[in-house]
Structure 1
Amino acid sequence: MTEGYLITFFTQRSREYDGKSLARWIMDEAMKVGVRGATLSTAQEGFGHDGRYHSNGYFDMQDPPQKLTMALSEEECEAMMALLEKNDLKVFYTKSEITFGFSSDR
C-alpha cells in the first residue's frame, strides 16, 4: 500500500496546450513522470469559475467539461504540480490524502 493523494483536475475539452487538449497533455506528462494510471472522463454538463455552463449538448459539443483523476505518491504529486507551474498552467484541482494499492497487496 502507498500513502499519497487523489488529484482531480477539471477543465474543458476545448482548452488546449501545446497542440492538444489540456487534459490529454496532462495525462501524457503524467505517463512521462511515471504515474501508474489516470482516468479521463467527459461529463454531460457543468459550470466553471467564470459562471459559464459547459455541456455535451447539441449547441456546445466542443466544450464539455472534463475531469482527469490520478492516484499519486507524494513525489509524483510534487512533480505534476511543478510541471504545471513550469508551464505556467492554471488548472483547477482537488487533492485528498489517500492510501492506495492493489487488492493483492493486502
Structure 2
Amino acid sequence: MTGYMLTFFTQQDRLHHGTPLADWLVKLAAELDLGGATLVPAGEGMGHDHHLHSTRFFELTDQPVSVVMVVTAPECDRLFERLQAEGVQVFYVKSTVEFGKLGGA
C-alpha cells in the first residue's frame, strides 16, 4: 500500500481541551479508526523559535514529544479535516511511504 507517514512535533505541556496534545492525537487516531499511532518522548529538541526544550529531572512539562502515524490518503484527509475543525496548531511532517505487513495471517 502507499500512503503517508505523519509526524507531529509538540511538547508534553501543550494541551488540547485539557489533555496533552500528543495524548489527544493518539486518542484521535483510535477514534478515527486509523491503523495506529506511536507517541515518542524525546530528551531534548529545539523548536521553531530556537528555544531549547528538554526533559529535566524534576520537570517533564517541557519534554519534546512526537506522534507518528502511517495512514492511507483517505485516512489522512479525514485526520486533517478533523484537526482543522478542532483548530489544532501543531507542526507536522508528511512523507509519502509504502507500507504493509509481513508474515502471519
Residue 63 of structure 1, CA deviation: 1.0
Runs of 4+ that moved beyond 4 A: none
Whether the 8 Å contact between 1:38 and 1:68 is mirrored in structure 2 is yes
- Residues of 1 paired with 2:28 and 2:57: CA distance? 31
Asked if the contact 1:38/1:69 (under 8 Å) is kept, the reply is yes
Q: Displacement, 1:22?
A: 0.3
Aligned to 1:83: 82
Which segment drifts farther, 20-29 or 49-58? 49-58
Alignment partners' CA distance in 2, 1:60 and 1:48: 18
Q: What's the offset of the Cα at 1:60? A: 4.5
Q: 2:54 is matched with which residue?
A: 55
Counterparts in 2 of 1:29 and 1:81: CA distance versus 1, 3 Å: same
Within the alignment, does 1:4 sit opposite 2:3 as a pair?
A: yes
Q: Structure 1, unaligned stretches of length 5 or more?
A: none
* TM-score (structure 2 length as normaliser): 0.92
Residues 21-40 of structure 1 aligned to structure 2 (within 5 Å) = 21-40=20-39
CA RMSD for the aligned pairs?
1.4
In structure 1, C-alpha distance between the alignment counterparts of 2:87 and 2:19, rounded to whole Å: 16
Opposite residue 90 of structure 1, the aligned amino acid is: Q
TM-score by length of 1: 0.91
